[in-house]
Homo-oligomer: A and B are copies of this chain.
Amino acid sequence: MDDKLMLMIPGPTPVPEQALLALSRHPIGHRSGDFSKIMAEVTQNLKWLHQTENDVLILTASGTGAMEAGIINFLSPGDRVLVGCNGKFGDRWAEVCEAYGLAVEKVSAEWGKALEPEQFREKLAADTGKQIKAVILTHSETSTGVLNDLEAINRHVKDHGEALMMVDTVTSLGAVNVPMDAWGLDVVASGSQKGYMIPPGLGFVGVSPKAWEAYKTAKLPRYYLDLGKYRKDAAKNTTPFTPPVNLFFALQASLNMMRNEGLENIFARHQRLMKATRAAIKAMDLPLLTSDEAASPAITAVGPAQIDAEKVRSIVKKRFDIVLAGGQDHLTGKIFRIGHLGFVSDRDILAAIASLEVAFKELGHKSFTPGAGVAAAAEIFAQS
């Protein structure tokens, strides 16, 4: 049905009407007082979202651009880094590091499993010469729906003392607690088309004072992604390069919505959406890719075994205008992923689960009682 599309992919996520309408305002000059006011407001609200007093800088870039900036501004050629690899995005950060000539050591886990904090502890404890300059981690691994144990891994990084903790929070920020200052995270990178509830085009990087210290001697080349330039201009409520002003209008609107909802409520909502989705999939007798303990509140991956994941996606798209994500790389065709990140309500989950029930039946998966998925989700909603 025209105009009925419902995005349940892990980005772009659904965009609320007030952000969409803000997008269609005529642009203003980015060197104007009016833009500076917006810049000041969104910067304050970004600090609130990151739970930090540190800088949170805004780039015209995708999340990858933001994460690359977060890596290359604080390191020098040959620096040793540990990169957590248990999905497409962890692998990507290893590629970025290699492209810049860093000495990459991967800490890997199977896709769908969480990284083992103990493996980080061992490598960090063994590095008595303090050669490891950064630990790079994907908090919520979008490709599998795994939430890595950032808090535990970060504790080992803090025990090491030297290494910077750099985190891809692209699908965790605004979905689960990421207290930048309380945990002492050094680099926190994210993108606008996720928990922020606005379209893609903006990247964000939170930077700690310890990272700025490293910046002073870091030697990897950069210009457009040079965060020092963004910091200098942010202090004057402006940007070094022309910002996408319309996306700033939308960001202003969505951050105000987030403040109105409140961090605790946002996190609780994502927990509820995750639990309901997982309970429903289990009640429909299909396997989840990740364990409950490793599950991301942003996205749930289902490995439907005997039925074709791509056919599931195709049916719910054609019949119900719901867009689900497929698997990536070696998981292509083997899983589908349900995004429940950002502007998503309990109603959206009920609609998605009910639609999936129809698709599963149509594809011959009959080992569940009709309505069991929806009932299981409703049970979670009744509890919380």
Which A residues fall within an 8 A CB radius of B? Answer: 3, 5, 7, 9, 11-12, 14-15, 20-21, 23-32, 60-65, 68, 95-96, 99-101, 191, 193, 199-201, 220-226, 241-247, 323, 325-326
Contacts and interface: CB of A to CB of B under 8 A. Distances in A.
B199 A244 contact: yes
Contact of A30 (B5, B68, B100, B200): B200
Copies in the complex: 2
A72 to B, nearest CB: 8
Per DSSP, chain A at the interface is loop
Nearest to A246: B199
B62 A242 contact: yes
B221 A101 contact: yes
B68 A245 contact: no
B28 A242 contact: no
A27 B221 contact: no
6 contacts: A12-B30, A29-B323, A199-B244, A200-B243, A201-B244, A221-B221
Interface centre among A5, A21, A95, A242 (most CB of B within 10 A): A242
Nearest to A69: B224
Given A200-B242, A245-B199, A223 B63 contact: no
A23 B26 contact: no
Contacts of A32: 323
Contacts of A5: 26, 28
Contacts of A7: 26-29
